[in-house]
Amino acid sequence: MNPITQLKFKNRFVKLGGDFFQAKHPVPGQSPRLIAFNRDAAPLIGLDPEAETESFAGVFSGNTLLPGAEPLAMVYAGHQFGVYNPQLGDGRGLLLGEVENDAGESRDFYLKGCGQTRFCRGFDGRATLRSSIREYLGQEALHGLGLSTTRSLALVGIGELIYREHPEPAGIVTRLARTHIRFGNFEYFHYTNRPEHVTRLADHVVEHHFPEMVEDKDRYRLFYRGVVENTARMIAGWQAVGFGHGVMNTDNMTLLGETFDFGPFGFMDRFNPRYICNRSDTHGRYAFNQQPEIGRWNLFKLGETLQHLIPADTLQEELNRYSTVFNLEFQNRMAAKLGLTIADAEFESLMNSLFRLLAAHQPDYTNFFRRLADSKTGNTQDLLEDFHQRTGDLDDWFKQYDRLLEREDIDAETQVERMNAANPKFILRNYLAQRAIDLAMMEQDFSEIERLHQLLKNPFADPDDDRDGIDPEFYSADTPEPYRGMQVSCSA
């Protein structure tokens, strides 16, 4: 493990040349302050988790440039809410470079909110502290749930007010990702009629992320297949945990299927298939139950940029795999939530009727599964309170469920253990994130960010003790009535 000044920067993206980015240094931020540092993510870039943090405010604000970093703003385009926007690009974030860790893997080291670039389109190049806190916690919450996501390394506040609805403080998140290359990077070169640059991007991704395909004559097909499959699995994970991304534009999807660019995201509280977490999404294009189909649509748009490399019918064939991979992953995840391992047709019917019941009764989606596990040890009270009334279809469902449990042939204790290992007790409820934000903004007290992080990095287990004021019952309770279905706006 290395100190912060000795990270192994490799900077492969730079080698693609100036058509792909603007070389740009961060704009210094006034009086930066380190709010959070995620020791768990440090080894991803070979950084010693116990490193001295004195210099970190300077480093993670971009004020001090690390030796080896070659910061750049990528150019990309993308479909936003279904409409093509020809020129986006990194307007407020910079890739400092790719850093190799001790296992020989590398991660992109990226600062989000570090000042204007050529692609800022008149915006200020900054991010609000509130959205930065949400992004910092959101990435780690999904990681804790075992989903594929970009990671948070650090969160810095800077002493500048920026203007949204009101003047407010700004923040910078250091994001680590397997890649920052988005569907939108491909679209930019496709729509500006430079297929040779699309090919170079594809070659770059294959060489560095799918090296086993490099020599294969079908490599472009296999590469597209890889993207289709990773994306399908990522979204199946979202659907299983009740996560709404909020802005599934093609510029917010990376080629490696990591959940990316956390903006107005949200975890569903009461089950509602039409849940819209993004207040700006007036037509519900990115509503919870639309996410799987939007993932497919985005992949179709990516496929269009590859037409000079892959025949149309082959592209279609590969895209058709999306639903198969999605369904398999989703069923496996739902089976695990129900403590089942046999995911056959009977299970599918059980799952479908469960979703009908959940939509009708709208219990807290996360806690429903913990209560279902509890009911196996005799506590059915909490579970039944979730349902408005004990209707016949509810009883039928429990009978069907018991029948499938019997096939598993395990004792109740193992059953409960299995279920509690697959169903989180803690999720990042919007109102909890908001409490952390309010405390940070009003009292410069950042301790709630740390408390939430501690819970969310291990969301399946109760904390061993209630140090630091962590009360498991409080943090795992259903969202209180006034805060249910909270939406967050895009403009942060």
Catalytic residue list: 251
- Residue 86 DSSP symbol: S
- Output 2 or 87, the one with its CB closest to ligand AMP: 87
Single-letter amino acid, residue 322 = Y
Give the nearest distance from C-beta 168 to ligand AMP in angstroms: 12
Give the nearest distance from C-beta 261 to Mg ion in angstroms: 4
CA 469 to the chain's CA centroid: 27
Q: Which does 175 bind (CB under 5 to 8 A by kind): ligand AMP, Mg ion, none?
A: none
Q: Which does 474 bind (CB under 5 to 8 A by kind): Mg ion, ligand AMP, none?
A: none
Single-letter amino acid, residue 119 = F
Structure tokens at 467: 């140090």
Give the nearest distance from C-beta 126 to ligand AMP in angstroms: 6
**Burial level of 199, CB count in 10 A (0-12/13-18/19+)?**
middle
Q: What ranges make up the beta strands (E) of 113-240?
A: 127-128, 151-163, 167-177
User: The tokens 């082959």 sit on which residue?
Assistant: 314
**Continuous segment of H or E residues that includes residue 95:** strand 93-100
- Output 24 or 92, the one with its CB closest to Mg ion: 92
Give the nearest distance from C-beta 447 to ligand AMP in angstroms: 28
Question: Which residues are at the interface with ligand AMP (CB under 6 A)?
Answer: 88-92, 119-120, 123-126, 252, 261, 263
* Cα–Cα dist 96/154, whole Å: 14
User: What residue is closest to ligand AMP based on CB?
Assistant: 91
Spatial neighbors of 54 by CB under 8 A, at least 6 apart, are: none
Residue 179 binding Mg ion, by CB under 5 A: no
* C-beta of residue 132 within 8 angstroms of C-beta of residue 172: yes
Residue 254 binding Mg ion, by CB under 5 A: no
- CB under 5 A: which stretch of 14-22, 50-58, 95-103, 257-265 binds Mg ion? 257-265
- Tell me if residue 127 falls in helix, strand or coil: strand
Nearest one of 157, 247, 41, 230 to 449, comparing CA atoms: 157
Residue 94 — φ and ψ, nearest 5°? -135, 140
Q: What ranges make up the beta strands (E) of 178-307?
A: 243-244, 266-267
Single-letter amino acid, residue 369 = F
Give the nearest distance from C-beta 222 to ligand AMP in angstroms: 29
Q: Which does 126 bind (CB under 5 to 8 A by kind): Mg ion, ligand AMP, none?
A: ligand AMP
Radius of gyration of the chain (CA): 23
- Output 64 or 80, the one with its CB closest to Mg ion: 80
User: What residue is closest to Mg ion based on CB?
Assistant: 261
Single-letter amino acid, residue 212 = E
* Cα–Cα dist 319/317, whole Å: 5
- Residue 487 DSSP symbol: -
- Output 132 or 415, the one with its CB closest to ligand AMP: 132
* C-beta of residue 151 within 8 angstroms of C-beta of residue 140: yes
- Output 177 or 350, the one with its CB closest to Mg ion: 177
- Output 173 or 228, the one with its CB closest to ligand AMP: 173
Give the nearest distance from C-beta 125 to ligand AMP in angstroms: 5
Total residues belonging to the chain: 492
**Number of residues this chain uses to bind Mg ion (CB under 5 A):** 2
Choose, by CB under 5 A, the member of 61, 252, 366, 420 that binds Mg ion: 252
- Output 252 or 430, the one with its CB closest to ligand AMP: 252
Residue 413 — φ and ψ, nearest 5°? -65, -45
Give the nearest distance from C-beta 249 to ligand AMP in angstroms: 7
Residue 261 binding Mg ion, by CB under 5 A: yes
Q: Which residues bind Mg ion (CB under 5 A)?
A: 252, 261
